[in-house]
Structure 1
Amino acid sequence: MVLANFFLLPVAEKIRVYENQGADYTSILKIIHFAVIAFGVTYIALSLLLLKEHRRKISDQLSYVEKINLNWLNILIIGMGEIWMSVLVGNDTTTFACLALFILYTGYFGVKKVGIFTNKLEVQAQQYEEATSPVEYQKSAKGELLLSEVHLELLKLMDQKKLFKDPELSLDTLATQLNVHPNSLSQVINTLQQKIFYDYINELRINEFKTNALLPENQRFTLLSLAYEVGFNSKTSFNRNFKKITGLSPTAYLKQQHVQLQAAI
């Protein structure tokens, strides 16, 4: 719109402006240039923040986020930023080369990760939004009592049935077992356990692993087989969560426990 006068000029006059590096329009072009830079930086920054928030939402719904790898989307956003910078400081060759690679990358992962745009994920995100919003019954003593009751039932269920051993356990599945709404269960875990669903379930798995790994009858099994037994579905997930919770690798932790046991004897 600000360049409307330019587009209304005769062809010869447009050529003159172009050949003279934007003569008579330099001020407007500078404003547009800096506006484009500001818009591009803001768009990329907000996209990365939105992706980070989406990862957090997934962690509050599922106990197996390793199957939902969004690193490709992170790279996609960074790729958009590179195209933006190429338009501003590069030339036509670099810009079209970046654009071609971007389209190929988008096409490949668009097919491979088609499930990310299904209604199921949208429903999960909506449930999360509802679960993290204030609920009226929390404001009363009766509401707090209900949350405490759900919490006790949760602890009892995990101790007796050990549902965390299900490698694909989700918030909805656990809520069904407890006969409560997923929103209520999410609040119980976030408030009373002070953890998101993903961290809560994986901490239970790690604690179960530590108990099982020290039993004499389990010494003949590998650490990975014991990890699968308690609900982990990959070596990477197991090692990362173990290090996050204990500060040690599984091998180092067990060596430490054996040393302490021998010292006590």
Structure 2
Amino acid sequence: MKTDLNIVLVVLMLFLLTVFTILLFHKGRKNYSNIILACYFVSQIIGISDTLFVYGLSVGNGMPIIFYPIIFTWVPLFYFYVVSLFETDFRFSWKHTFHFIPFVIVLSYTVANFYIKDYDIRSQLIESHEIYNQLFYYFGMAFNTQVIFYNLAALVQYRKYLKRIKDEYSEIDHVGNNWLKTCLFGFVIACFIVQFGIYSQRFHVFISVDWFLAGNGAFFIFFNILFYKAIISPNILHRSQIKEKYKHSLLSTSDARKILLLLEQCMDEKHPFTDSSLSLKSLSKMTDVSERNLSQVINEHRKQNFFDFVNSYRVKYAMRLLKDKNSSRRTMMDIMYDAGFNSKSTFNNAFKKHSGSTPTDFKKMNS
């Protein structure tokens, strides 16, 4: 019964991935990230097809064996997809081919230890699953290492992206990138569940659990989230508009000071920070100063990114409201929203960072 469920789930995934790939190449072909995602789905289709061999559905003498090495393209392709989301000018080049060296090594091993053998030996290797045992024994740990390494690299890219976003947005909770972090961890979990299933069968531990079914289910959810975000919500990330920080800036010190004075005057008199969606772009229009120059002035003369710069004003405003006797009956949430915050965690963290105490403690000290 469990095997039947696995077969149904694998066939369903193959069907959906095929549909997803066609739609990505057709509907999303103008988006370079979608093209990479489509290539990733193709590699998954080939790799998952190999699973049917495990359940005895494959035909022919050894053709499915050639599918195994393709799993070593999964993680690099997914990593490149993540990078392409963060870097709008990302394009494949020859320097990226070294990421596929593990695939070439495993493919070479498969050819040398299976395809150049006699027909009878190949048949015996298939029937005994010996070729699979060899591949899992020699390269299973390498695949797990690859998963860990590339996902750590993807998380580093994610952190760099968040740092860039803080140079342009005053509130990052609305940016909508948590799905990507979920996918990064989801991909790792799905891979390890399947690998654990392989080792559990090999060493006869926890065999009462159908790890393949759990892993396939995790991949099924993972694929649907990726496709939904790529096609249904194409603008999944706020891209950084500032390409290279002030590399060729012609902004003089005197002009920078004038901009800083204008900016501080705007913040003090117009209170634009009370708008939770305030961005570098909207503040640029308000002050009639380019985004690039505004960012440079905030970074170099205030020694802050845009996120911290705006939140420092919000905290000062919240502190004034908390000290105001007329605001004594107002809730902390009211003050938080009035100051421009729309997240309690962001409010508490920013308040502690810029005032040295929590909002609650500050209110008690000034009541």
Query: Shorter-normalised TM-score: what interval?
Result: 0.7 to 0.9
1:41 aligns with 2:148: yes
1:171 aligns with 2:280: yes
* Unaligned ranges ≥5, structure 1: 259-265
Q: Distance in 2 between matches of 1:68 and 1:20?
A: 48
Pick one of 98, 116, 124 that aligns with 2:215: 98
The aligned residue for residue 262 of structure 1 is none
Secondary structure in structure 1 of the residue aligned to 2:242 = helix
Please say which of residues 218-227 and 173-182 is displaced more in the overlay: 218-227
- Residues 97/147 of structure 1: CA separation in 2 closer, same or farther (3 Å cut): same
Secondary structure in structure 2 of the residue aligned to 1:239 = helix
Secondary structure in structure 1 of the residue aligned to 2:169 = coil
The aligned residue for residue 80 of structure 2 is none
Residue 81 of structure 1 and its aligned partner are, at CA, apart by 1.7
Q: Distance in 2 between matches of 1:78 and 1:249?
A: 32
Matched to 1:194, the amino acid is: K
Trace 1:74-85 onto structure 2 (pairs within 5 A): 74-85=181-192
1:180 aligns with 2:297: no
Residue 104 of structure 1 and its aligned partner are, at CA, apart by 1.6
1:149 aligns with 2:262: no
Residue 102 of structure 1 and its aligned partner are, at CA, apart by 3.2
Secondary structure in structure 2 of the residue aligned to 1:191 = helix
Secondary structure in structure 2 of the residue aligned to 1:136 = coil
Q: Distance in 2 between matches of 1:117 and 1:146?
A: 39
Residue 219 of structure 1 and its aligned partner are, at CA, apart by 2.1
Contact 2:193 2:214 in 1 (8 A): no
Residue 172 of structure 1 and its aligned partner are, at CA, apart by 0.4
Contact 1:165 1:205 in 2 (8 A): yes
Contact 1:83 1:98 in 2 (8 A): yes
- Residues 115/22 of structure 1: CA separation in 2 closer, same or farther (3 Å cut): closer
Q: Distance in 2 between matches of 1:147 and 1:115?
A: 42
Please, what TM-score do these two structures have when normalized by structure 2? Answer: 0.59
Matched to 1:17, the amino acid is: L
The aligned residue for residue 135 of structure 1 is 248
Residue identity over aligned pairs, in percent, reads 23
Secondary structure in structure 1 of the residue aligned to 2:319 = helix
Trace 1:62-81 onto structure 2 (pairs within 5 A): 62-81=169-188
CA RMSD of aligned residues (A): 3.0
Render the CA deviation track for 1:194-222: whole Å, top value 9, x for unaligned.
11111111110110111122122222322
The aligned residue for residue 90 of structure 2 is none
Count of aligned residue pairs for this structure pair: 248
Contact 1:60 1:128 in 2 (8 A): no
Render the CA deviation track for 1:155-180: whole Å, top value 9, x for unaligned.
11111111111121100010111212
- Residues 7/250 of structure 1: CA separation in 2 closer, same or farther (3 Å cut): same
1:210 aligns with 2:319: yes
Secondary structure in structure 1 of the residue aligned to 2:342 = coil
Matched to 2:122, the amino acid is: K
* Unaligned ranges ≥5, structure 2: 1-106, 202-209
1:162 aligns with 2:276: no
Q: Distance in 2 between matches of 1:114 and 1:235?
A: 32
